[in-house]
Amino acid sequence: MQTQPLLRQTKPMNTPVIDQTKLESFVMRAIGDLSASSGGILISLGHKLGLYKALAGAGPLTSQELADRASCAERYVREWLNGQVAGGYVQYHAVSSTYELTPEQAMVLADEDSPVFIPHAWSVQASMWFDEDKAAHAFRSGKGVGWGEHHDRLYCGVAAFYRNAYKGSLVAQWLPALEGVVEKLEAGIEVADVGCGHGHSTLLMARAFPKSRFHGYDVHQPSIQEARGLAAEDGLEGNAEFEVARATDYPDRKYGLICFFDCLHDMGDPVAAAQYAAKVLSPDGTVLLVEPFANDRTEDNISPVARLYYTGSTMLCCPHAVSEGGHMVLGAQAGEARLAEVFRKAGFSHFRCAVKTPFNLVLEARR
């Protein structure tokens, strides 16, 4: 008498049926993500070694020509170039065995003043890997990780990445979208930049509006020191100053404008921060709130940008908010409705979205 194979006898009744096509599709998606993340180190190296800058505007170059321009070893440069071609970051001309950076690629990879310059962002990703054990401990314990506890690559990466985005939009688009704010800045008002980091946003405004006085506040002492140095380099010490302070205890100067640039969602008590802003705001003052773009529902936040923001939120934003007590941990994908509720609770009667981009929500609040 024949018996069934042992595997069939012991196979669980609820074993799922695997759709091979779906499996292969998902595996290739995961491999694509792995490929993209591994390419990040080559992008960072290309920036630090000056390879992108040496390619930009030079026309087709051989690997040896690029190596000579960047003072690097040809064999390494050739492998790096082929990796860039494989990822679509550099063009390859097979007939001449040469490599070329298009003007569009140069804007993203070689022009450090471009609003879409990306290499600095990879320092942020690197810092997250360095801090993986801290994140795992936070997950298990429920405790926070303060901003100052992260790897050093985080601070320069964040500051440099946001500097270019703000440089392209803050003075030219975001401030003019607020009701009457540019006119007040031109006449001269006190401005608070809360959570200013290295002070790039503060200094951009100080340069554009010399009659106003700008005050940058942050809890991270090394960032404030860096901001002071940048202000001195730019000759802006006359109308820009920086102090270590929290979002609930910076000096009361009856500000005509209070700014929160990509930071309110990091705070342990955003309602308290908004309440304090209401307290130190002049009667006709405005709050400018810039936050990562997000829709209000999870099912509407399915995109590469949302995934990027959720990652940063998991590793950086939520841990810092928890470290500050975690009264309301908004996360980087809070959305307009939740942010409006924060300001409603803080006593503001006016709240609107002034500008919406694929990357930012620019919001205006008044008492």
DSSP-assigned states of every residue in 132-187: HHHHHHHHHH-----GGGS-THHHHHHHHHHHHHHHHHIIIIIGGGSTTHHHHHHH
Q: What is the pLDDT of residues 225-281, one digit of tens each?
A: 999 999 999 999 999 999 999 999 999 999 999 999 999 999 999 999 999 999 999
CATH of 121-366, one of 3.80.30.20, 1.10.10.10, 3.40.50.150, 3.40.50.12280: 3.40.50.150
Round to whole Å and give the CA distance between 98 and 79.
Answer: 13
Q: Is the pLDDT reported for residue 1 higher than 50?
A: no
Map out the domains of the chain as residue ranges: 20-109, 121-366
Compute CA 100 distance to the chain's CA centroid, rounded to the nearest angstrom.
Answer: 29
Supply the DSSP symbol for 61. Answer: B
- Cα separation, 128 vs 123, in Å, equals 9
Residue 354 contacts residue 286 (beta carbons within 8 Å) = no
Q: Residue 153 corresponds to which amino acid?
A: R
CATH topology of domain 20-109: Arc Repressor Mutant, subunit A (1.10.10)
321-340 residue pLDDT tens: 999 999 999 999 999 999 99
- CA gap 246, 273 in Å, rounded: 9
Please give the average per-residue pLDDT across 21-32, as a whole number: 95
**Which strand ranges, in their side-by-side order, compose the sheet holding 281-292?**
240-244, 213-218, 190-194, 255-261, 281-292, 360-366, 350-356
pTM equals 0.89
Give yes or no for residue 5 having a pLDDT over 90: no
Tokens 């404030």 belong to: 224
Q: What are the strands, taking DSSP E only, across the chain?
A: 91-93, 98-100, 190-194, 213-218, 240-244, 255-261, 281-292, 350-356, 360-366
